[in-house]
Amino acid sequence: MLMIENRHFTDAHQRDCARVVAALHRDDFQSRASLASTLEMTSTAISKIIADLAERHIIVENAGERKNGRGRPATQIALNPLCAGATILSISSRELIGVLIDFKGNILARETRTVGAGANADEMTAIMRSIVSALIAKCPSSMIHVGTSITVTGITDIKNRIWILTSRWPNIRDFNVEEALLPVTPTVYLFRQLDVELNARFTEQGLFAPDSAAILHWGWGIGLAFRTKADTTQFQSGPFGEIGHWRFNILEDRPCGCGNFGCLETAVSLGALLPTIREIHPDTAEDEETVADQIAHMELASRPEIRMAVRLMARALGNVCRILFPGKVFITGPFIANHGIFDLLQSDFEAEGLVGSLTLPTLIPDRSSFDYVLKGAAQPLFECALDRLLGLTGSN
Q: For 149-185, b where at least 16 C-beta lie within 10 A, e where not — what string?
A: bbbbbbbbbbeebbbbbbbbbeebbebbbbebbeebb
Note the Cα 232 to chain centre separation in Å: 16
Q: Which of 370, 277, 372, 289 is nearest to 93 (CA)?
A: 289
394: confidence class by pLDDT, cuts 50, 70, 90: very low
Average confidence score pLDDT of the chain: 88
Give the CA distances from residue 134 to residues 98, 315, 382, in Å, rounded to whole numbers and listed in that order: 9, 44, 21
Min mean pLDDT across 145-149, 170-174, 228-232 is at 228-232
Please check the confidence at residue 356 and state whether its pLDDT lies above 60. Answer: yes
Please check the confidence at residue 108 and state whether its pLDDT lies above 90. Answer: yes
26: confidence class by pLDDT, cuts 50, 70, 90: confident
The model's pLDDT over 256-275, given as tens digits with 9 standing for 90+, comes to: 888 889 999 999 999 999 99
Q: Residue 342: CB partners within 8 Å, gap ≥ 6?
A: 331, 335, 336, 365
Min mean pLDDT across 109-123, 269-283, 382-396 is at 382-396
Average pLDDT over residues 45-63: 89
Average pLDDT over residues 149-163: 90
SS3 content of the chain, % helix, strand, coil (to 5): 40, 20, 35
Please check the confidence at residue 232 and state whether its pLDDT lies above 90. Answer: no
134: confidence class by pLDDT, cuts 50, 70, 90: very high
Say what the pLDDT of residue 238 is. Answer: 57
Average pLDDT over residues 332-355: 92
Report the distance separating Cα 18 and Cα 79, nearest Å: 12
Domains of the chain: 12-79 (1.10.10.10), 84-195+371-389 (3.30.420.40), 201-368 (3.30.420.40)
Average pLDDT over residues 220-244: 75
Say what the pLDDT of residue 115 is. Answer: 94
Cβ atoms 313, 345 nearer than 8 A: yes
The model's pLDDT over 69-81, given as tens digits with 9 standing for 90+, comes to: 555 566 789 999 9
Give 150 or 391, the one with higher predicted confidence: 150
Strands 144-152 and 107-114: unpaired
Q: Which of 196, 175, 162, 167 is nearest to 380 (CA)?
A: 196
Say what the pLDDT of residue 64 is. Answer: 55
Report the distance separating Cα 117 and Cα 129, nearest Å: 19
Say what the pLDDT of residue 63 is. Answer: 54
Report the distance separating Cα 254 and Cα 239, nearest Å: 23
Average pLDDT over residues 214-220: 92
Strands 107-114 and 95-102: antiparallel
Measured over the CA atoms of residue 321, residue 327, residue 331 and residue 336, the dihedral's sign is: positive
Please check the confidence at residue 369 and state whether its pLDDT lies above 80. Answer: no
Say what the pLDDT of residue 228 is. Answer: 87
Please check the confidence at residue 65 and state whether its pLDDT lies above 60. Answer: no
- Going by the DSSP 8-state scheme, the letter that residue 19 receives in this structure is H
Min mean pLDDT across 8-17, 247-256, 381-390 is at 8-17
Min mean pLDDT across 169-178, 200-209, 211-220 is at 200-209
- Going by the DSSP 8-state scheme, the letter that residue 148 receives in this structure is E
Please check the confidence at residue 395 and state whether its pLDDT lies above 50. Answer: no
Say what the pLDDT of residue 68 is. Answer: 52
Say what the pLDDT of residue 204 is. Answer: 76
